[in-house]
Amino acid sequence: MNTSILNEQDYYRIVYGGWLGKNIGGTLGAPVEGEKKLLELSFYPELPDGPLENDDLDLQLVWLHALEQYGPGLTARELGQEWLEHIFFPFDEYGYALTNLRRGLLAPVVGWFNNPFNNCMGSPIRSEIWAMAAPGAPETAAHYAYQDAIVDHAGGEGVYGEMFFAALESAIFFEKDRDRLIEIGMSYIPEDCRTAKALKDLLRWHQEGKSWTESRLLILEHHGSDNFTDAPQNIAFTILGWLYGEDFEDAILKAVNCGYDTDCTAATLGAILGMLLGPEGLPAKWVKPVGDRVVVSPPIKGFPAPKNLDELTRRTIRIGKQILAAWDTGIIVHPDFPTSWNRLEAAGETDKRIRELWERKVTSNLYLLPQGTKSCPDAELFIDFGTDGPAIGVGQRKVLQFTLTNRSLTPIYGNIALELPSGWEGPTPLEISLQPDESFQWDTEILAGAAAAASHELAFRWTRSHDHAVWAVQKVTFALVSSSRWIVWGPDGGAEKEIYVPGNRVEWEKALGLNSAQLPADGVYRAQTTLTNPIERKLRLIAAANSPVTLKLNGQIVIECNETLEFMPAYHRAPQEQWVELTLEAGSHQVEVEAIRNGCPPEVYILPVALQDTTSPGSYYYYTDILLG
């Protein structure tokens, strides 16, 4: 193995500079987050008490805690647990992922299922911790970034954005050339993903001599989205600031003045430049107002957050030494020897490892057996839930696919079975035997019982035999959530049709046997379901739509939006015209929805969420005990 040396003082200044730059950029951009116009910022807003709190840094403090708690073997499974324990944000993909986690789902399914925000910026902003904990090892940083991103962005551009930034930032420890760093980052994402296309176009426009404002407009024209948090456009704005910026100040100002997700673009570019320049290279004008304090948002809680950037840096380095050793990187952090890089990779090796991550199915979860295994398992189990995801309706049938692979060095035999909730029906146990590296695929149908619940626990049971006697039993538990039953009508006023919807979106196209683009005609689309609320409570009921929409509750109109607004099915920022706050009695309530198609297929999400004021920080969370259908 080729050994590289990272001097510990160099390690400290790069990491400290990165965290300082992150604080600077996040504080600059936070007050104008969501502004879609060309901005004219020249400095911070007034800062009476240091840096502003920002989820760009908040979440990475939790990930540092996760690394300290679980060690270098950290995976998406443990990161999901960290969300449940310490993160109470309702924002966009965060809210949907937390809802799925609370129902018992696991990554990557938890980040893909019923999530309209998996193309957004929530994960690309969390890249620095992985780069700093895997200094000079971009393949390792990209691996951790993938594990992180699939918890709330699986199947979307958010995954690629985080892998891109993590690899680029990790490479800063051995490479300082801007263009080469961008090239390294792009090698860790698919060439045909939206993020890569936006970056390639931006690089071309820059080389052609387009001004930064011209490039901004071209990004919006070719890669833009109405949702200001969409990842490809904001990642391009981040790199735009770097390409066109003459120095640190000019770069972060150009990035933030592009508008849109301004705290994210400025914070990430600030971190990149802070890592390159070190704290001594950052202008005192920008450093002094933020100082070295670490500020944590109130909904991030229950763990020992670092008090300042020095503590954050030292804790990052401490876990980084463990990761470099555990991953056999050949990189040694030394207190005295000078930094000396000697990186030689086998051709195509990194490509193969990373490509495997890109190609993993988001409809299935992988379990290593025995459970708790991090590597070199005796067996692997894939559970594939299919295109409708881990959902099933009352009295409905569903096919699940189980693939068990023997990864041990000896033949195994026994039986596989499913343990189902009371009143459900499923297959009888099946005898199997597997040679080393042999797989068995079991496609089996189950029938749900009559009881509805937020989620149902099932278990795959593997009973291994030895000498014709039962030797050991392993159970893998998993969850299915309840689908919603809707009665829908098309615009022709024809016969009603029954559908079961796996998430919160009313799927008229499903009832008509079409895809959404094929919905046949303009007009009024109607849908009806039953909402069951277990206790009286105050709540916000949302009917987020891309068209005029009306919602009736028990025959009374409570939402009437007569115009087409930006489609925003978020718990905390749906248009005001598309939600109502009320006290809802315990029991069953009839919900009727009308959406008007006018050239665009209607999309409507029905979302019962908490109010802003809660007894503990963490508002607008989804009420998982309220059932639709």
CA 304 to chain centre: 24
Note whether 355 and 343 are within 8 A (CB).
no
Residue type, 357: L
Q: Are strands 469-482 and 391-392 parallel, antiparallel or unpaired?
A: parallel
Question: Is 49 annotated in some ligand binding site?
Answer: no
Distance in angstroms between the alpha carbons of the first and the last residue of the chain: 60
Read off the DSSP letter of residue 625.
Answer: T
200 in the Ramachandran plot: left (φ > 0), alpha (ψ -120 to 50) or beta?
alpha
Longest dimension (CA), the chain: 80
Residues written for the chain: 629
Question: Is 492 annotated in some ligand binding site?
Answer: no
Q: Which two tokens stand for residue 82?
A: 């960290």
DSSP per residue over 505-548, as a string? B--HHHHHTS-GGG---SEEEEEEEEEEESS-EEEEEEEEESS-
Backbone angles phi, psi at 327, to 5 degrees: -90, 5
Give the closest residue to 273 by CA, choosing from 281, 285, 265, 263: 281
Q: Are strands 397-406 and 484-489 parallel, antiparallel or unpaired?
A: unpaired
Q: Which two tokens stand for residue 454?
A: 């937020």
Nearest-angstrom CA–CA distance, 152 and 225:
19
Note whether 580 and 539 are within 8 A (CB).
no
- 3-state DSSP call for residue 129? helix
- 3-state DSSP call for residue 456? strand
Q: Which two tokens stand for residue 161?
A: 């954005």
**Binding site per annotation, positions:** 261, 263
**Binding site per annotation, positions for Mg(2+):** 261, 263
